Amino acid sequence: MRDVAVVGTGMTKFGELWGQSIRDIFVEAAQQAIADSGVDYIDSLYVGSMSPGLFVNQEHLGAVMADYLGVNPIPATRVESACASGGVAFRQAFLEVASGASDIVLAGGVEKMTDGADVTDVLAAAADQEYEVYHGITFPGLYAMIAKAHMHQYGTTREQLAAVAVKNHRNGVKNPNAQFRSEVSLAQVMSSTMVADPLRLLDCSPVSDGAAAVIVASLDVARKLNKNFVKVVASAQASDTIALHGRESITTFKAVVEASKKAYKIANLRPADINLVEVHDCFTIAEIVVSEDLGFFEKGKGGEAAKQGLTAIEGGRIPINTSGGLKAKGHPVGATGIAQIIELYEQLTSQAGPRQVKNVRRGMAQNMGGSGASCVIHILEAQ
């Protein structure tokens, strides 16, 4: 396997992009990534997208995007793993370059969620239709059950859940592409509209449009480009039962645990060697559980860590979601995994501006689908 690097990035603003189509926003991000990298060709293209057929009635997305990007006749493939679609698209690009099959690959992600589809129904397609959705459960309901169980088992509090939202909105203010660039207070989070007890509106990531893209290349190509690049030192993926009732515990994400074990082993690293991490905070409880499952905090201590500021940019032990996370940056589901890689790239090349973490060498991205049935993890390293 060859060494692989990220050599360029591109990203639209996340939010309600009424004036642009799904192909418009993907091409915008992809063109930015190509220009940023300095490459004059790409060998292939991967597009992460969860449900374009349900959101905007457009399938065959790989071919659509290759056409409108003007890169035919290269191979172009859509990748789907629910909300982990972008992260898995990046993994496929990484594997293609690492194997030697291609030298330069574009990995992108896109979702257009605000064009009129019933978003709750579309997202529910990532849960177990026969055993969960048929009986009326939604994703806020599934994560509410996880939150209730975590609170019962470990004493996690409403204030600790709210602290995650407060911190991520504070980070989002510093991200020019974030959907929400305003701070929220603990009181605002805790008094926001109840969605599924104990989760309130400000515990939930928003409905978003957006696209993100990166250029993945062999290390030899990266060095010849004579520009900033970061090395991909680990890529790992794992799965779990799709329905919560099939799991030994709903206060841990087994797919996250297993994928992280693989990633740490591949990179020969430990949690203490990671300087910052982008995690899949679709709901505030998700960030808490994932921070524990990745080994950054003892099981049951993730909420306390958030409230104590251990995950903050300033003075944090392990800064989490410096981008603002899904909570403030936005969550166009197919684009999220790629946006996480972009945040790591900007941090590791000291281009993150006011949200820059000091003295960073390694970053981790954790992207998961549904209620944790799929998970993909990458570790990137500054060069």
**Tokens (6 digits) for 211:** 């696209």
Q: Which of 83, 204, 282, 375 is labelled catalytic?
A: 83
The residue written with tokens 């940056």 in the block is 329
Q: Is 83 a catalytic residue?
A: yes
SS (H, E, C) the chain: CCCEEEEEEEECCCECCCCCCHHHHHHHHHHHHHHHHCCCCCCEEEEECCCHHHHCCCCCHHHHHHHHHCCCCCCEEEECECECHHHHHHHHHHHHHHHCCCCEEEEEEEEECCCCCCHHHHHHCCCCCCCCHHHCCCHHHHHHHHHHHHHHHHCCCHHHHHHHHHHHHHHHCCCCCCCCCCCCCHHHHHHCCEEECCEEHHHECCCCEEEEEEEEEEHHHHHHHCCCCEEEEEEEEEECCCCHHHCCCCCCCHHHHHHHHHHHHHHCCCHHHCCEEECCCCEHHHHHHHHHHCCCCCCCCHHHHHHCCCCCCCCCCCCECCCCHHHHHCCCCCCHHHHHHHHHHHHHCCCCHHHCCCCCCEEEEEEEECCCCEEEEEEEEEC
Can you tell me the distance from the alpha carbon of 292 to that of 273, in angstroms, rounded to the nearest whole number?
A: 16
Q: Which of 150, 331, 375, 378 is labelled catalytic?
A: 331
Q: Is 60 a catalytic residue?
A: no
Among all residues, which ones are annotated catalytic? 83, 331
